[in-house]
Structure 1
Amino acid sequence: MTVNLKEFQHRRALLLRQMGAGIAIIPTAAEAIRNRDSHYPYRFDSYFYYLTGFAEPESVLILIGGDVTKNEPPKSILFCRDKDIEREIWDGFRYGPEAAQTQFGFDEAYTIQQLDVLMPELIGNQAQLFYSLGADQHWDARVTGWLNIVKNKARMGISAPQSILDVRQLIDTQRLIKTPFEIDLMRRSANIAASAHNRAMRFVADNLAKATLMEYAVEAEFLHEFYRHGAQAPAYTSIVAGGANACTLHYNANNAELKKGDLLLIDAGCELDGYASDITRTFPVSGKFSAPQRDLYELVLNAQLAAIEAVNPGNHWNTPHEVALNVLVQGLIDFKLCKGSLEEVLESGSYRQFYMHRTGHWLGLDVHDAGEYKDNKGDWAILEAGHTLTVEPGCYVRPAENVPEHFWNIGIRIEDDVLVTASGNEVLTKNAIKTVADIEAHMAHGAPEMRLAS
């Protein structure tokens, strides 16, 4: 994992300034049992990692606001697993408190076994507690136990926090604006995922003559490309959906045979040092679009390009969606899939038969990243430089009496990752091929392998 010590220290300092007085408790994720004595691959909690850069399980971050009247500066404390050579033989390297404190820049560090002993003392006489109540029942019970211990010391002059505030709301505000360090990681993650999508197109073209080509074989190509370029995992369960399967938005069985006349929709991204990429491309299994496929594909592409053009600082979050929707709906009317004027179709919502989701989401440490889409007045968030989001319109045509048969079972989505810049935007996933001409040429002849920055 890439750890920039100053970056994580700055994030903690910013949160401490937002907190003022009080204490914050941010635990990482627990390990999860897959079956019997087998675990799922461990993935840290994004909020915890955002503030620490520390990827080990069984860890908790404690932040304590300073007290100017007592000349006490703010403090960051890590609780983590002890250094245990015997366990390292079985499970691999662990830092231990001493090394973790030094290498990750904490003021203090203790073993996780000391947590229940020290926490009541740390919570005592703090004005506010910053904790995400309701996010994890296990931690809710544990924190409640510490608070009860403190309350029982009232006669000793020790008071419990008077209020509990959601620490994640404060962190969400920070996480929305990406720093240069984060943007660099997201560019690298996007380049790896783009390379995987281009590889998948060539793989399908090169293996078309085989007796059978399965969706999962294409997924394997993605995983190969992700891992060989240093990504630690897929960012989410990949969707590899041929033909009618593409009309199921969250299809992930990935076990059907690909057919030459069908389109193949692939929604897949990787995670690099915690940061997600998220790309969707749709292309013809045969390497050539049919006329109906081309018509709908170019409609979705035009909607996407118009929406990306609307990703600018000062526009509100919903602007790209509104722009994409207008283009899509007009196209659906032109192709006789919807009836009425643009205003009538938008008002009735009849377009939702073919386009039923929104056009994007925040992107970062989580593929659906932290951050609100509206403010506390109900107004859409305003796009700012440093925001990262996806732009992903689609069109999904299932067989129906009101649908011309030549459009049946066509599912198309085109998705890119976009950074809002000071003067406009940057498409982080621009290396993933997406025009009709480029897709057909790439599948026919291939292209030089993309060199990825280390």
Structure 2
Amino acid sequence: MKDVYKKRRERFFSRMEDGVAILKTAKVCRKTRDIDFPFRQDSDFFYLTGFDEPNAFAVFEKKGKRRRFVLFVTPSEPEEEVWTGKKCGVQEAIKDFGADEAYPSSEFLDRLKDFLTNANALYMKFGNDHDFERAIFEQVAKLREQERKGIFAPKKFFDITDVLSDLRVIKEREEIETMKRACQITGIAFRSAMQAVRPGMGEWELQAVFEFEIKRRGGKMAFDTVCASGANATVLHYSSNSCRIGKDGLVLLDGGAEVSYVASDVTRTFPVDGRFKEPWLSVYKWVLRAQRVAIETLKEGVTYAQVHGSALECLCEGLVALGVLKGSTKEIIEEKKFEPYFMHRIGHYLGLDVHDEGAYFVKEGQSRPLKAGMVITIEPGLYFPVADFVPEYLRGIGVRIEDDCLVTKNGCEVLTDDIPKEPEDIERWMAGGSFWDRLLPASLEGSEI
């Protein structure tokens, strides 16, 4: 994998003007008094370095044909490592991560002046870490005071995210293969959840089934799992997962595995008792139809807005057929009558971040044409909250269907197509009943959420 990061750095250098780029690792965040959250590396930092320890800095210097990659890392300290585990250390940063030079993190600020002096341009993140930005610009200000001595500060400033987003949005072969593995694990987890669900089960229990299948295969959770039964499915980012599942209706499960920092993101909505009934089935079929239309539209050269629009038109037709709205599809879209029932876009880029880097519009009002190698989720939905403006027979129904799609020259490859979503396929998969009844019950008194 070391070659993958080297090639990424070469592409990044090719986009840089002469100057210096600086990245800092993600912060370690405190969970409780003396316990930290599990560390997760900043995706841009990982993309260019493959380095996944905290408290490090990466510097990329370009002067004419000269390229230099420097890492500042936490030194290996045997006494500390008894508590925190083995660290890479300074020498290994050169050997294992391809750095041209490496130094202890504690020396970064002392050496910062050398990197900034007479650099034409500075690339860094803005609005992300105010203390870090302040330290850098204090040094820039000091250099400006020395211009009469022929010592110059950077003249140009660029947000490094703008450069990296254009690189990250097109996936390399290795990243696609890793994503396929994440999708494969996610599919196993969904199929297991479908065979576990039953009335009376806790949402948290179904969540545990799903996450167990991912973690036992070496995956991590790409984001907090949404396990929403009944009316909870009308809350887009419902995450408490704290209710018991009712005797009928649907469960909306939205989750995904992360493998080697690459995410998957899938949603399936399926019946609690294994059989689709009305009115849930009619709503489900319209969402599935909208997803099919969007996936058929998705290919290189088509814009993100066109993909969204194709699904939106279908959903508006469905809202009329379901007796929710009246009027023509054009009128419903122009007047935004659909928004109480479909309030999000058709999907998002997927990669090292669940909502990955990449622009959706090249300028105001002009949607970006999609390119082969992009991965985008296609996730239409219809949501009918328990509210007076919703027809009574639809209140409390929420349906979303989401797949991960790799854009190709002539269409797209649905990376999660093996996860059942046709109503008859879901019913067939769930026909054997729930295996949950065969497990020993949780007997600790007061153990429920």
How far does the alpha carbon of each residue in 1:169-222 deviate from its partner, in whole angstroms, 9 at most, with x for none?
Answer: 0011100100001101111111111111111111114xx4xxx31000011112
How far does the alpha carbon of each residue in 1:247-296 deviate from its partner, in whole angstroms, 9 at most, with x for none?
Answer: 11111110001012121001111211111110010011111111211111
How far does the alpha carbon of each residue in 1:226-266 deviate from its partner, in whole angstroms, 9 at most, with x for none?
Answer: 111111x2111111100010011111110001012121001
Match of 1:203 in 2: 196
> Which amino acid in structure 2 is aligned with residue 132 of structure 1?
K
How far does the alpha carbon of each residue in 1:306-363 deviate from its partner, in whole angstroms, 9 at most, with x for none?
Answer: 1111110010111121111111111111121111122221222111121111110111
Aligned residue runs from structure 1 range 143-222, under 5 A: 143-205=136-198, 208=199, 212-222=200-210
> Which amino acid in structure 1 is aligned with residue 346 of structure 2?
T
CA distance in 1, matches of 2:409, 2:110: 49
1:29 to 26, 30, 42: 26
> Which amino acid in structure 1 is aligned with residue 326 of structure 2?
K
CA distance in 1, matches of 2:61, 2:263: 30
> Which amino acid in structure 1 is aligned with residue 383 of structure 2?
Y
3-state SS of paired residue (2:197):
helix
Q: Answer yes or no: is the 8 Å Cα contact 1:195–1:431 preserved in 2.
A: no
User: How many aligned positions are there?
Assistant: 434
Q: Answer yes or no: is the 8 Å Cα contact 2:227–2:252 preserved in 1.
A: yes
> Which amino acid in structure 2 is aligned with residue 221 of structure 1?
V
> Which amino acid in structure 2 is aligned with residue 287 of structure 1?
G
> Which amino acid in structure 1 is aligned with residue 202 of structure 2?
M
CA distance in 1, matches of 2:136, 2:127: 11
3-state SS of paired residue (2:83):
helix
CA distance in 2, matches of 1:67, 1:398: 60
Structure 1 unaligned blocks of 5 or more: 448-454
Matched, 1:261 2:245: no
> Which amino acid in structure 1 is aligned with residue 205 of structure 2?
A
2:53 to 51, 56, 68: 56
Match of 2:438 in 1: none
Per-residue deviation, 1:402: 4.8
3-state SS of paired residue (1:101):
helix
3-state SS of paired residue (2:164):
helix
1:126 to 112, 119, 129: 119
Q: Answer yes or no: is the 8 Å Cα contact 1:214–1:255 preserved in 2.
A: yes
Aligned residue runs from structure 1 range 343-354, under 5 A: 343-354=330-341
CA distance in 2, matches of 1:102, 1:156: 39
Per-residue deviation, 1:377: 5.6
Structure 2 unaligned blocks of 5 or more: 435-449
CA distance in 1, matches of 2:117, 2:331: 61
Match of 1:312 in 2: 299
Q: Answer yes or no: is the 8 Å Cα contact 1:130–1:164 preserved in 2.
A: yes
Matched, 1:12 2:36: no
Matched, 1:370 2:367: no
Per-residue deviation, 1:422: 2.2
Q: Answer yes or no: is the 8 Å Cα contact 2:231–2:386 preserved in 1.
A: no
> Which amino acid in structure 1 is aligned with residue 216 of structure 2?
R
Q: Answer yes or no: is the 8 Å Cα contact 2:8–2:48 preserved in 1.
A: yes
CA distance in 2, matches of 1:377, 1:296: 34
> Which amino acid in structure 1 is aligned with residue 31 of structure 2?
R
How far does the alpha carbon of each residue in 1:396-415 deviate from its partner, in whole angstroms, 9 at most, with x for none?
Answer: 11234454322121100000
> Which amino acid in structure 1 is aligned with residue 174 of structure 2?
F
Aligned residue runs from structure 1 range 90-105, under 5 A: 90-105=83-98
How far does the alpha carbon of each residue in 1:18-58 deviate from its partner, in whole angstroms, 9 at most, with x for none?
Answer: 11300000111011111111000000001100000000001
3-state SS of paired residue (2:11):
helix
Match of 1:235 in 2: 222
CA distance in 1, matches of 2:93, 2:244: 49
Aligned residue runs from structure 1 range 351-430, under 5 A: 351-376=338-363, 378-430=365-417
Per-residue deviation, 1:67: 2.6
CA distance in 2, matches of 1:322, 1:182: 29
> Which amino acid in structure 2 is aligned with residue 186 of structure 1?
M
Match of 1:444 in 2: 431
Matched, 1:46 2:33: no
CA distance in 2, matches of 1:380, 1:359: 13
Per-residue deviation, 1:133: 2.2
CA distance in 2, matches of 1:55, 1:276: 16
Matched, 1:291 2:278: yes
Aligned-residue CA RMSD in angstroms?
A: 1.5
Matched, 1:78 2:71: yes
Match of 1:141 in 2: 134
> Which amino acid in structure 2 is aligned with residue 336 of structure 1?
G
CA distance in 1, matches of 2:120, 2:205: 57
Match of 1:450 in 2: none
3-state SS of paired residue (1:74):
strand
CA distance in 2, matches of 1:281, 1:114: 50
CA distance in 2, matches of 1:402, 1:12: 54
Q: Answer yes or no: is the 8 Å Cα contact 2:19–2:62 preserved in 1.
A: yes
Match of 2:441 in 1: none
Identity of counterpart residues, as a percentage? 37
- Give the TM-score, by structure 2 length: 0.94
How far does the alpha carbon of each residue in 1:101-126 deviate from its partner, in whole angstroms, 9 at most, with x for none?
Answer: 11111111111011111111111011
- Give the TM-score, by structure 1 length: 0.93
2:289 to 288, 291, 302: 302
> Which amino acid in structure 1 is aligned with residue 209 of structure 2?
E
Q: Answer yes or no: is the 8 Å Cα contact 1:283–1:439 preserved in 2.
A: yes
